[in-house]
Amino acid sequence: MPLFARCFARFWFPPLQFLIYCPHQQQPGVHMSEKPVDALTQSEAEAELKRLAEEIAEHDRRYHTEDAPVITDAEYDALARRNLALEARFPALIREDSPSRRVGAAPAEGFTKVRHAVPMLSLAKAYTDQDVADFIERGRRFFDRDKDLEIAFTAEPKIDGLSASLRYEGGVFVQGATRGDGAVGEDITANLRTIADIPKKLEGSGWPEIIEIRGEVYMTYAEFEALKQRSAALGGQEYVNPRNTAAGSLRQKDASVTASRNLKFFAYAWGYTTQDPAATQYESVQKFADWGFRISPLMVRAKSVEDLVAHYHLIEEQRSSLGYDIDGVVYKVDQLELQRRWGFATGEPRWAIAHKFPAEQAMTTVQKIDIQVGRTGTLAPVARLAPVSVGGVVVENVTLHNEDYIKGFDSNGQPIRDGIDVRIGDTVVIQRAGDVIPQIVSVVIDKRPADAVPYEFPHVCPVCGSPATREVNEKTSKEDSRRRCTGELICAAQAVEQLRHFVSRGAMDIEGLGSENIDLFFNAGLIKTAADIFTLKQRRTAVTKALAERREEQARLREAASGKTRKNVRGVEDRNYEGLDKLFAAIDSRREPELDRFIFALGIRHIGETTAALLAKTFSTVEELIRVGKETAAADDPHTVFPSINGIGDTVIDALRDFFGNERNDAVLDALLEQVHPKPYIVTLSADSAVAGKTIVFTGTLEKMTRPEAKAMAERLGAKVAGSVSAKTDLVVAGPGAGSKLKLASELGIEVIDEDAWLARIGKA
């Protein structure tokens, strides 16, 4: 998956502008995510903690629930470390949904939930030998009063698979579960029973009456390759890597599918038990082998930093020959009594740490450099490589990010790769950082061809031929690291994603017009502009034909994959496509959208849902917004025209000037407003409003509206929305997952209602 696919996107509709917000790409000026923690104000820290909580939660869901990570381990760890640093500096701002308070992600739907008697925690990370030395030193300082105490440690490979907990009662396997969010996992007992490494009944003797054996389910390289070959022969899905494949195999609803994958299991720990297996970690794991489990043959016991690090490098050398994925070495205090004394911190045991490996590397050549035009018009360079295997995956493409990166510099002008540029024909060292995202580590300058020349980054869009420019921040005079296509109206590369944003949930929210149908109708020439959506019904015959042809193509693909002959497949003559009337009705129902939704749907750069609500509240009607926007665009000094609005600064004002000052947008916006009539944004301050003048706090998960929608709704009724509960709070609206705010409200005697009661109170039930 390309780098931009993991970003949180705000798109625009042609010819309207749009913004991709991506933490891995720098905006003009200094983004909060780039500021040192010590330099953030309290309000900036609060916003940054919110961003981190949302982003980390999304990556947790992708990794633990979907088995489809889209960032590297190092990038994820950097986000987590920044979150912890912010919480340490601003303890009063720690959020209810803080990543430091959870492990993994919520269990996937479709499986019975299992609450772990003892939480399945994550481990702190070490990346250097010094990090390991610091870990050992912390332990020695903690136990400093015990002068004669000799602390031993275990070291064992960190298997890259899916964690599982196996409950045995009377020596019999009775239940198995995934990690889930650390507290609650998924019941996958039937699937775990198909794994030969997991005994149905414990062997030997001496096991506790009840014990939860914990370990890692994984897939060997050989089995992974065999599965890929079988799938390719049937025209089936492509598999990315053994870890994701093992996790997906373990979550199959049909246990026979799991059985066919020949998964493996290593045991290395335990959860709840009626008695310790032994007095030490090492002896306990050896007992697991006596009871019929596979344990790592590379587990050792050591007493010094030097011995632990030496074993780490020994395992690192053997990594490629093990036949399965590992991504580091885990160190644990050996004596169980010392583990208990040292305890836990922020959801992690203090007595254990994972020493991560650097990513595997390989050498290949750059055959050419292509330019892809992204969803904001960004020109994104991609290096096409001579295919090379890295960590069991064939890599042929790698992102080059932007033209500065190609030249050997980051967005701050600091050298990377020793300041060496990337050229066509170069030999490069690549790695799959976190064993996921390919990246160029270095250029082998000694192997550079004599005729290789510096790469000239295009200054025109390769799709539409429009100029491609780099914006300059007027305040900092700093040039954006990305070059953008300026052909807003005519650049086809940008159009589809702009349409997707326009109809998305937070914008116009047109049900039935999701990504697949947008792609279909755009490619068929049925929708090219926003206004075209609202005249789609006039092209019903063409719409029906496009839908039927897609269904026919999907049937052909299924036939090719299964080898079965299709029967009774309706073709392009079908004029009664199911749901078409419902789609047209959904479109018609959005002809009078709320003003803030409409503004957000335009996809003007730097204007998200919250800013759109501020603009709607300030200008009340779309006509007034357009009038002020055009006057602001024409003024030499925009501040003489545009009103001062708390929460809106020069970046947004400049974006509005660019948008309303672009004559090419006028015709498209006029055509759209012939079809759509946004409702005026009216603030109700009369006594008729049950919440006028009251201070409201929303907490927990809102299920019937987004948080910005709820805030805008309350403000329209004359209420003030606060972010925290205090003695001045009049009402708390609490959804599922409400935490400390709900508790404080109860302590202060503040009225608390749920979302349904809130809607009833304001007359929206």
- Residue 484: name the closest of 376, 402, 606 by CA: 376
Going from the C-alpha of 729 to that of each of 46, 669, 693, 737, 754, the distances in angstroms are: 19, 41, 11, 20, 16
Residue position matching structure tokens 């381990």: 73
Residues 45-61, buried b or exposed e (16+ Cβ, 10 A)?
A: bbebbebbbebbbebbe
User: Residue 15 has what DSSP assignment?
Assistant: T
611 Cβ contact partners less than 8 Å away, ≥ 6 residues apart: 647, 648, 652
Instruction: Output the CA angle 633-635-637, nearest 5 degrees.
Output: 110
Going from the C-alpha of 10 to that of each of 44, 499, 572, 711, the distances in angstroms are: 21, 11, 35, 20
- What kind and span of H or E run contains 608? none
124 Cβ contact partners less than 8 Å away, ≥ 6 residues apart: 135, 348, 352, 353, 354
Task: Report d(CA 112, CA 179) in Å as an integer.
Answer: 13
| HSE-up (13 A, CA, CB side) for residue 103 | 21
> Are 386 and 364 contacting, i.e. CB atoms less than 8 angstroms apart?
yes
Angle between helices 622-634 and 650-660 (to 10 degrees): 90
> Are 378 and 20 contacting, i.e. CB atoms less than 8 angstroms apart?
yes
382 Cβ contact partners less than 8 Å away, ≥ 6 residues apart: 369, 370, 371, 372, 397, 398, 399, 400
- Residue 508: name the closest of 124, 9, 11, 88 by CA: 11
- Strands (E) across 56-144 are located at 113-115, 124-126
One-character DSSP codes across 374-401: -TTSBEEEEEEEEEEEETTEEEEEEE--
Going from the C-alpha of 150 to that of each of 44, 284, 303, 310, the distances in angstroms are: 46, 19, 8, 20
Pairing outcome for strands 162-169 and 172-178: antiparallel
Q: Three-class SS of residue 762? A: coil
531 Cβ contact partners less than 8 Å away, ≥ 6 residues apart: 668, 671, 672, 674, 675
Instruction: Output the CA angle 144-348-128, nearest 5 degrees.
Output: 75
> Are 370 and 188 contacting, i.e. CB atoms less than 8 angstroms apart?
no
> Are 659 and 13 contacting, i.e. CB atoms less than 8 angstroms apart?
no
> Are 742 and 700 contacting, i.e. CB atoms less than 8 angstroms apart?
yes
**H helices then E strands: how many in the chain?**
24, 26
158 has catalytic annotation: yes
Which residue among the candidates 125, 147, 158, 528 is catalytic per the annotation?
158
Using a 10 angstrom Cβ sphere, with 0-12 exposed, 13-18 middle and 19 or more buried, the burial of residue 524 is: middle
Catalytic residues: 158
